Amino acid sequence: MADATPDPLVEKSSLYQEFLAEREEILKHKWIKSEEAGSDIGFEAALVDWMLHHRGTWREERSFGAAASV
């Protein structure tokens, strides 16, 4: 059985940090869409909708923000 606690090295990796940031955005999107629908739309529906409608812009904004801070 896999350990649920991530390795400290993994937690500090930029890839893992990007994953966590993207997951947080999807969860926010799920909440908004669920409120609009009047019921929980589920993670998978929120994920697909967010990826189709928002992921590209979100990633561009994050890339621009990272480039501006360098």
Tell me: pLDDT of 2 over 80.
no
Q: Tell me what the mean pLDDT of segment 53-66 comes to.
A: 88
Model pTM score = 0.77
Q: How far apart are CA 6 and CA 67, in angstroms?
A: 28
- In the chain, what percentage of residues exceed pLDDT 90? 63
DSSP element (H, E) containing 12: helix 8-12
Average pLDDT along the chain: 88
Summarize pLDDT for 27-53 with one digit per residue, the tens: 999 999 999 999 999 999 999 999 999
Task: Provide the residue ranges of all domains of the chain, joining segments of one domain with +.
Answer: 21-68
Tell me: pLDDT of 1 over 60.
no
